[in-house]
């Protein structure tokens, strides 16, 4: 459970109400927890549960020490009545803008929000510093923001900020000089937008990077840039950035990222510029969401069982085929086989291919048929299938999925044993990644093939090592 520290008391206004309420603010800066207890003092019985709204878009306030703040996206989590004295309405806030009390009519006027994400320097291949010709360290002053995406409404960029190198000799008279780099996603809007607008864009790019790195990334800092209208009214300088406390901020103890880790990356930031089209991902993001959820569930967790991972990746492939390739009836699928998949195949090969693709599809398109088409991949790549024969792979995977879903003993002998599932999860994941890359904007077949074959080399090596161990046991 999140531990919260009492921060201070003050008075708060709810949305466009004129009335001020006394409240106590509780924060956990490291984990982004934000809770506000609004207290209403009274005489007599408890107040109505609906005295205050269940959900509040924003609350502005000022603590007794003069600290101003604005809470955004508040949801009531508890109501407690102290008979004859006061009622407490407890709200959890998604965001807190520190040091500024935004008026009701201006609370959604932002033009830029920066999100600091650690552990992505290798993915971004960009540093705040450089090595000079004389092997001395210097700041990379000429390095500009890398544009990931831009249209007429908003842009997404990447840059690395950090601490300055010492500029006076007295700064060198310490035993330890620390430099810190901050990889940052920068989201800008062409016209003022509410804060949630930037958060939704950040969530999409976060997932994009997590798929690329095959690991979960954290958010450690948020800074927002309000419009001049807000800053003028509150007496701030025009170029000020506002620190945002948030429940999205999570700081976990994780293993440090090593230089060798980038070998396993599905793609890097430089690949987006050379091969990618981020706009395709933006277009497909909602449609991809359940597929990415299943994929990242495997990527995120080190404790997920082989069975659950297998069921996840199989479901992801089935969902992908249904959503992006073919989601219609069996009649339409048979037509697709003849007119699209086998249109350019020689007549001598069509019979075997047709049988392979139809599998057991009679009244509906089966998982086996969907896996068969994904495996064929328009004959543009030959996927590795481990110890399972290529032509039997869709059937074996389907029977294995059905066995672990229903535990039908009739299917047990025809299924992959649980202790042998892990490499097949990785094989299926490479097939999924090949198609994900396309929907993420990497349409170049050669690029996608090269990335998948890099992953397959590791899987193939794993099978070879296992064979050696089995032969010597």
Q: Which of 35-49, 52-66, 319-333 has the lowest mean pLDDT?
A: 35-49
In tens, the pLDDT along 313-346 reads: 999 999 999 999 999 999 999 999 999 999 989 9
Q: List the one residue out of 402, 379, 399, 390 whose CA is nearest residue 427.
A: 390
Q: What is the mean pLDDT of the chain?
A: 89
Mean pLDDT, residues 348-376 taken together: 95
Band (pLDDT 50/70/90 cuts) for residue 378 is very high
Residue 369: pLDDT above 50?
Answer: yes
Q: Which of 102-116, 188-202, 228-242, 367-381 has the lowest mean pLDDT?
A: 228-242
Proportion of the chain above pLDDT 90, given as a percent = 67
As beta bridge partners, residue 137 has 131
Q: What are phi and psi of 325, to 5 degrees?
A: -115, -60
Residue 465: pLDDT above 60?
Answer: no
Mean pLDDT, residues 136-158 taken together: 91
Distance CA(316)–CA(429), nearest Å, equals: 9
C-alpha atoms less than 13 angstroms from C-alpha of 210 in its C-beta half-sphere: 21
Residue 456's pLDDT is what?
84
C-alpha atoms less than 13 angstroms from C-alpha of 169 in its C-beta half-sphere: 0
Band (pLDDT 50/70/90 cuts) for residue 101 is confident
Residue 240: pLDDT above 70?
Answer: yes
Asked if 4 and 29 touch (Cβ cutoff 8 Å), the reply is no
Residue 42: pLDDT above 90?
Answer: no
Residue 12: pLDDT above 50?
Answer: yes
Band (pLDDT 50/70/90 cuts) for residue 472 is very low
Q: Which of 120-124, 298-302, 344-348, 424-428 has the lowest mean pLDDT?
A: 298-302
Asked if 119 and 257 touch (Cβ cutoff 8 Å), the reply is yes
Residue 468's pLDDT is what?
47
Residue 142: pLDDT above 80?
Answer: no
Band (pLDDT 50/70/90 cuts) for residue 411 is confident
Proportion of the chain above pLDDT 70, given as a percent = 90
Residue 109's pLDDT is what?
85
Mean pLDDT, residues 279-294 taken together: 95
Distance CA(429)–CA(434), nearest Å, equals: 9
Band (pLDDT 50/70/90 cuts) for residue 464 is low
Band (pLDDT 50/70/90 cuts) for residue 72 is very high
First and final CA of the chain: distance in angstroms? 47
Mean pLDDT, residues 61-84 taken together: 89
Length, in residues, of the chain: 473
Mean pLDDT, residues 208-218 taken together: 93
Residue 225: pLDDT above 60?
Answer: yes
As beta bridge partners, residue 35 has 26, 92
pTM for the complete prediction?
0.88
Q: List the one residue out of 17, 108, 245 whose CA is nearest residue 38.
A: 17
Residue 413's pLDDT is what?
87
Burial state string for 23-56 with b = 16 or more CB within 10 A and e = fewer than 16: bbbbbbeebbbbbbbbbbeeeeeeeeeeebeeeb
Residue 161: pLDDT above 80?
Answer: yes
Residue 1's pLDDT is what?
46
Residue 130's pLDDT is what?
92
Residue 2: pLDDT above 60?
Answer: no
Residue 13: pLDDT above 70?
Answer: yes
Mean pLDDT, residues 445-473 taken together: 72
């Amino acid at each position: 459970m999140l531990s919260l520290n009492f921060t201070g008391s003050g008075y708060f206004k709810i949305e466009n109400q004129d009335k001020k309420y006394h409240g106590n603010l509780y924060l956990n800066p490291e984990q982004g927890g934000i809770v506000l207890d609004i207290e209403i003092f009274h005489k007599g019985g408890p107040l109505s549960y609906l005295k205050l709204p269940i959900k509040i878009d924003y609350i502005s306030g000022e603590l007794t020490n003069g600290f101003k703040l604005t809470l955004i996206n508040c949801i009531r989590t508890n109501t407690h009545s102290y008979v004859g004295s006061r009622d407490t309405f407890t709200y959890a806030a998604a965001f807190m803008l520190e040091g500024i009390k935004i008026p009701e009519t201006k609370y959604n006027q932002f033009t830029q929000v920066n999100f600091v994400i650690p552990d992505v320097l290798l993915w971004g291949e960009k540093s705040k510093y450089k090595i000079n010709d004389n092997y001395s360290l210097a700041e990379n002053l000429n390095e500009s923001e890398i544009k990931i995406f831009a249209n007429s409404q908003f842009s997404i960029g990447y840059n690395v900020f950090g601490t300055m190198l010492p500029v006076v000799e007295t700064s060198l008279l310490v035993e330890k000089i620390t430099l810190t780099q901050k990889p940052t996603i920068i989201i800008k809007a062409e016209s003022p937008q509410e804060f949630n607008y930037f958060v939704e864009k950040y969530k999409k790019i976060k997932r994009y990077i997590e798929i690329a790195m095959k690991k979960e990334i954290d958010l450690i800092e948020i800074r927002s840039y309000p419009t001049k209208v807000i800053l003028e009214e509150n007496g701030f300088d025009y170029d000020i950035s506002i620190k945002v406390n948030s429940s999205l901020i999570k700081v976990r103890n994780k293993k440090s990222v090593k230089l060798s880790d980038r070998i396993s990356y599905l793609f890097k930031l430089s690949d987006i510029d050379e091969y990618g089209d981020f706009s395709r991902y933006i277009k497909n993001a909602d449609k991809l969401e359940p597929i990415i959820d299943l994929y990242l569930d495997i990527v995120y967790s080190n404790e997920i069982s082989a069975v659950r991972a297998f069921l996840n990746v199989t479901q992801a492939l089935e969902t992908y085929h249904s959503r992006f390739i073919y989601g219609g009836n069996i009649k339409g699928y048979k037509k697709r086989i003849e007119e699209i998949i086998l249109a350019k195949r020689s007549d001598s090969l069509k019979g075997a291919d047709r049988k392979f693709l139809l599998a057991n599809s009679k009244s509906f398109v089966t998982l086996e048929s969907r896996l068969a088409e994904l495996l064929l991949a328009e004959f543009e790549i030959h996927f590795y299938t481990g110890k399972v024969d290529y032509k039997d792979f869709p059937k074996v995977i389907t029977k294995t999925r059905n066995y672990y879903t229903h535990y039908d003993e009739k299917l047990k002998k025809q299924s992959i044993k649980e202790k042998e599932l892990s490499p097949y999860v990785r094989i299926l994941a490479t097939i999924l990644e090949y198609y994900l890359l396309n929907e993420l904007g990497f349409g170049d077949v050669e690029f996608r093939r090269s990335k998948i074959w890099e992953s397959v080399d590791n899987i193939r090596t794993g099978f070879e090592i296992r064979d050696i161990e089995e032969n010597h046991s």
